[in-house]
Structure 1
Amino acid sequence: MADKDLDFLYQCSNEQLKLLADFMLYDKDGKLRWTEEISSTQAFKLYYPHEMVKLVPTLIDELQKFGGNTLFNMFRGHGVSYREILTSVCKQLKVSYHKDASTELIEHYMLQKFLIMSVEKMTEEDVHHLSEKLTKESLAKQIGLLKAGSPLFIRLTTMLITQMATKYGLKQAANLVAKFAGGRAFAVLAGPIGWVLSLGWVAFDIAGPAYRVMIPCTITIAYLRMVYDKSEDELNDILR
């Protein structure tokens, strides 16, 4: 099913698309999900992992099916839109948003929720390592005021993606961690972000197996939307 909210994926890099695909393919134990259908397709055999853009229609179809009820999918012949998946995830996370808000803004609110939850798990000493002028409360407020796509928000969200990739044992995790090597912010935030992700996994295990795919995928798609049009040099400058 065509989905205008995911058209930008055709402009993502091979590495970025492989990151998204691997979250769909593998569970947090590094094993192929028993529910995934991507690896059995002809497109996967032809294009993974070197021509990922040609696999985008398959990835979109897989995600939409995860978001829809299996029986309903059989009648419709397809799943549900990405926006419906996103709002379903936000409902589970208790993320507030206006029903008429853009998809990008809803994604931003979702990412903010994860980051603010991470700050809440930090100690005041952790926050002072980031800046002596900050407190937990002021840092949470600052995150709440950051605009989508701002350098600091991209840095924080990249840390979120890095921790998530590490939890899944994805090869891309090593490359992402390397970009932050020795960085004070990463050292301070890695633990709290990892804790929040673990909490999220428990919540989504209870909510149903589809959410085990939908949560990492919506986070990854929201992240890719912010960075897909930035050059490697631009991203490296932001992440330093």
Structure 2
Amino acid sequence: MKAILNKCEKADFDYISSVLDSYFSLTDDKELKRLLSVSEADPAAMKSMIALMDKQIRYYASSDVAYLTRLVFSDEPGVSADELVQDVCDKLKVNIKMGGSVEAKLERLVAATVEKELSSKSPEDLAKAFEKMGIAETKRELIMQHLKANGKVAILPIVMEILGPKITLGIIETIIVTLIAQIIGREAAKQLIKELLKRNPWINALGPILWLLSGTWLAIDLQGPAFRKTIPITLYLGIVALRDGTVDASDAAS
């Protein structure tokens, strides 16, 4: 996870640190907070903070017993980044190609999660959701016409083609942040929502609701202690991964 953590900004680190914080774990939260407080002015502290953050993320993807066992016999006691991404995919019930870099896997995870959400809605519900977000009527009509003409197809590539990468990334962020808010609580996600709207000023502020999640997520138990940390962080890092490149939306249908 270090490569993608290196792309994070201060607000990203603040969020990840807040999710990792726990009184009941084998992690060094106090040291992480100390490093975070000085990391902007100290490159060495930044490097140490990223290493510790990476270690803590992978710790939460492992049971305490397994972690302690690996700690005795290995320099890398936490699960691998690949295992972490696969575990989150399994929990969210999405399938992605597992080849390539961790960054590529994170991008695919986010794209597949968003595709699952979009495909669970009817064209009419999608039109209403896009309208609330501030998508122009002409663009909404193009998307709906394409969906009605082609039946059940991957939606994200269509959205990308019609709206372009910038708006599509805003939609992806909105859906992912809303899902994260469902897991960690809307109060805890306030700063995330603030940063989302700052990066995407075209999105209409919808009061307490950014995106009305479909019932497809209600059947998934996202409340396990570890998954309350690993899923929000992994999805968020997927958003970070997408910021500096074009979304390969075709992977969402894989």
Q: How does the TM-score come out when normalised to structure 2? A: 0.66
Aligned residues with identical type, % of pairs: 14
Deviation for aligned residue 1:159: 1.2
Match of 1:14?
Answer: 10
Aligned length: 211
SS of the residue 2:234 aligns to? helix
Q: 2:226 aligns with which of 199, 210, 214?
A: 210
Name stretches of at least 5 consecutive residues in structure 2 with no aligned partner.
Answer: 41-45, 72-76, 246-254
CA 1:65 to 1:190, structure 2 compared with 1: closer, same or farther past 3 Å?
A: same
Match of 2:58?
Answer: 64
Deviation for aligned residue 1:219: 0.4
Letter in 2 for 1:57: A
Deviation for aligned residue 1:55: 2.0
> Does the 8 Å contact 1:162/1:177 carry over to 2?
no
SS of the residue 2:115 aligns to? helix
CA 1:223 to 1:191, structure 2 compared with 1: closer, same or farther past 3 Å?
A: closer
- Give the structure with higher Rg (CA): 2
Name stretches of at least 5 consecutive residues in structure 1 with no aligned partner.
Answer: 26-31, 230-240
- 1:175-234 Cα offsets, whole Å, 9 max, x none, are 3234445635x75x93334x569637x5222xx3211111111101111122269xxxxx
Q: After superposing the two structures, state which structure 1 stretch, 93-102 or 12-21, moved more.
A: 93-102
Q: Output the CA distance in 2 between the equivalents of 1:107 and 1:180.
A: 21
CA 1:140 to 1:23, structure 2 compared with 1: closer, same or farther past 3 Å?
A: farther
Q: Output the CA distance in 1 between the equivalents of 2:4 and 2:202.
A: 32
> Does the 8 Å contact 2:61/2:84 carry over to 1?
yes
- Greater fraction of residues in helix: 1
CA 1:98 to 1:65, structure 2 compared with 1: closer, same or farther past 3 Å?
A: same
Match of 1:233?
Answer: none
CA 1:161 to 1:118, structure 2 compared with 1: closer, same or farther past 3 Å?
A: closer
Aligned-CA RMSD value: 3.6
Deviation for aligned residue 1:49: 4.2
> Does the 8 Å contact 1:64/1:81 carry over to 2?
yes
Deviation for aligned residue 1:106: 2.6
CA 1:43 to 1:111, structure 2 compared with 1: closer, same or farther past 3 Å?
A: closer
Q: Output the CA distance in 1 between the equivalents of 2:78 and 2:16.
A: 18
Match of 2:250?
Answer: none
Deviation for aligned residue 1:66: 0.8
